[in-house]
């Protein structure tokens, strides 16, 4: 619930504080942070769990989150206060240079505050116009496919390795760490590549489509290969399966510079709201998709069907996004 507020807020900050040419790399760095947290949790948590138990594991994560939140709160208040005092110091000087008197200084400050626009609300957002736009629908569907991949793999990956490689229980930390390292690297790398492409004159639309194709098509190919490996008989090679999963997560990380940042391109004034709505679509598979995988395994007891299903959904998202997505600001909707 609380995490659902974080990413739309990041989208709004990127819209107002970071230029188009640098936005992809900054966004990639920000989204690499959760992957680093997953890596640390997988490494430290694995040893901490066996030495102290689940209770202290959850307590450690909770206290760390609260401490980090308080630190961010303190830093943001300090930055806001500094900006406020800079405004108070600069406005009278500017008024004196223009009029030769300080009598209008307070008026200048009041005008600067009164001219600030209030952030748009859900009521202000032109929903009816948005849902008729092809790029918006393509963005929502691609986000749904990314969520389908992530939630199903995230929920069932430990079960897959536990059921098929019980003799490799000592290597459980690998599939809890390596995929997140790979995704963190690709999230940062994709942001850097996107920045370079845009700075060299490549259109934002072409850049977003390229990153999303790498994400959806690449992860789809890896899971298709994993499905073939499952279909061919007993899974004898733990390293091959782990490598395919890591590669799939690596490709999926390129979505950070694709569909994830697309709301800022389409409607900067409504980027936070649009991102939140898009993120809701990505969360839908976490509700019914996980249960669907359980039903498939219960009925057929075949992991290849699971990976083929995820692969097909991801590939369909790649096609839809390639055909209809855009990085241009939507006309008659965003006037920022």
For the stretch 226-281, pLDDT in tens is 999 887 655 558 888 899 999 999 999 999 899 999 998 998 888 888 888 898 88
Fill in the DSSP letter of residue 131.
Answer: T
Confidence of residue 60 (pLDDT cuts 50, 70, 90): confident
What radius of gyration do the chain's Cα atoms show?
23
- Residue-level pLDDT at 251: 96
Domains of the chain: 3-52+117-324 (1.20.1250.20)
- Residue-level pLDDT at 58: 74
Confidence of residue 73 (pLDDT cuts 50, 70, 90): confident
Distance CA 22, CA 272 (A): 18
- Residue-level pLDDT at 44: 66
> Mean pLDDT across the chain, nearest whole number?
78
**pTM: predicted TM-score of the whole model, two decimal places:** 0.74
Confidence of residue 318 (pLDDT cuts 50, 70, 90): very high
Which residues neighbour 7 within 8 Å (Cβ) at sequence distance 6 or greater? 275, 276, 279
53: left (phi over 0), alpha (psi -120 to 50) or beta: left
C-alpha closest to that of 278 among 293, 265, 297? 265
Fill in the DSSP letter of residue 115.
Answer: T
Give the percent of the chain with pLDDT over 70: 65
C-alpha closest to that of 150 among 281, 283, 302, 296? 283
Residue 69, token pair as written in the block: 């939140």
3-state class of 262 per DSSP? helix
Helices 3-17, 271-300: crossing angle, 10 deg rounding: 140
Confidence of residue 211 (pLDDT cuts 50, 70, 90): very high
Distance CA 304, CA 295 (A): 14
Residues 227-231: contacts with CB within 8 Å, 24+ apart? 227/303, 227/304, 227/305, 227/306, 227/307, 227/308, 227/311, 228/304, 230/302, 230/303, 230/304, 230/307, 231/302, 231/304
- Residue-level pLDDT at 121: 62
- Residue-level pLDDT at 170: 64
Mean pLDDT computed over 26-41: 67
The residue that leads in pLDDT, 324 or 335, is 324
- Residue-level pLDDT at 55: 72
171 pLDDT higher than 80: no
287 pLDDT higher than 70: yes
- Residue-level pLDDT at 47: 66
CA distances, 145 to each of 101, 209, 212, 275, 292 (Å): 61, 15, 11, 15, 15
Which residues neighbour 140 within 8 Å (Cβ) at sequence distance 6 or greater? 277, 278, 281
What does the pLDDT look like over 77-125, one tens digit per residue?
766 555 544 544 544 444 444 444 444 443 333 333 334 456 666 666 6
Mean pLDDT computed over 177-182: 87
Confidence of residue 138 (pLDDT cuts 50, 70, 90): very high
The residue that leads in pLDDT, 297 or 16, is 297
The residue that leads in pLDDT, 209 or 334, is 209
């Amino acid at each position: 619930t609380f995490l659902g507020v974080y990413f739309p807020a990041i989208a709004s900050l990127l819209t107002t504080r970071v230029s188009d040419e640098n936005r992809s790399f900054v966004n990639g760095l920000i989204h690499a942070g959760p992957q680093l947290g997953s890596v640390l949790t997988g490494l430290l948590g694995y040893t901490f769990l066996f030495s102290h138990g689940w209770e202290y594991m959850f307590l450690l994560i909770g206290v760390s989150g609260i401490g980090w939140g308080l630190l961010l709160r303190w830093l943001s208040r300090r930055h806001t206060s500094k900006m406020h005092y800079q405004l108070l110091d600069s406005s009278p000087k500017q008024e004196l240079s223009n009029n030769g008197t300080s009598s209008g200084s307070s008026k200048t400050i009041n005008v600067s505050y009164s001219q600030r626009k209030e952030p748009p609300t859900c009521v202000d957002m032109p929903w009816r116009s948005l849902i008729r736009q092809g790029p918006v629908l393509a963005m929502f569907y691609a986000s749904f496919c990314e969520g389908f991949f992530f939630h199903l793999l995230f929920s069932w990956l430990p079960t897959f390795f536990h059921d098929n490689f019980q003799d490799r229980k000592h290597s459980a930390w690998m599939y809890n760490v390596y995929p997140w390292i790979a995704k963190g690297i690709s999230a940062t790398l994709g942001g850097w590549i996107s920045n370079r492409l845009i700075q060299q004159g490549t259109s934002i639309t072409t850049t977003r489509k390229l990153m999303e194709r790498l994400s959806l098509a690449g992860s789809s190919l890896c899971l298709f290969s994993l499905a073939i490996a499952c279909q061919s008989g007993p899974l004898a090679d733990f390293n091959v399966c782990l490598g395919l999963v890591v590669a799939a997560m690596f490709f999926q990380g390129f979505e950070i510079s694709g569909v994830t940042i697309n709301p800022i391109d389409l409607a900067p004034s409504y980027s936070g709201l649009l991102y939140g709505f898009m993120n809701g679509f990505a969360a839908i598979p976490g509700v019914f998709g996980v249960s669907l995988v359980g039903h498939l395994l219960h009925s057929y007891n075949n992991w290849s069907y699971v990976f083929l299903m995820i692969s097909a959904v991801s590939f369909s998202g790649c096609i839809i996004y390639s055909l209809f997505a855009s990085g241009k600001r939507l006309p008659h909707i965003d006037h920022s």
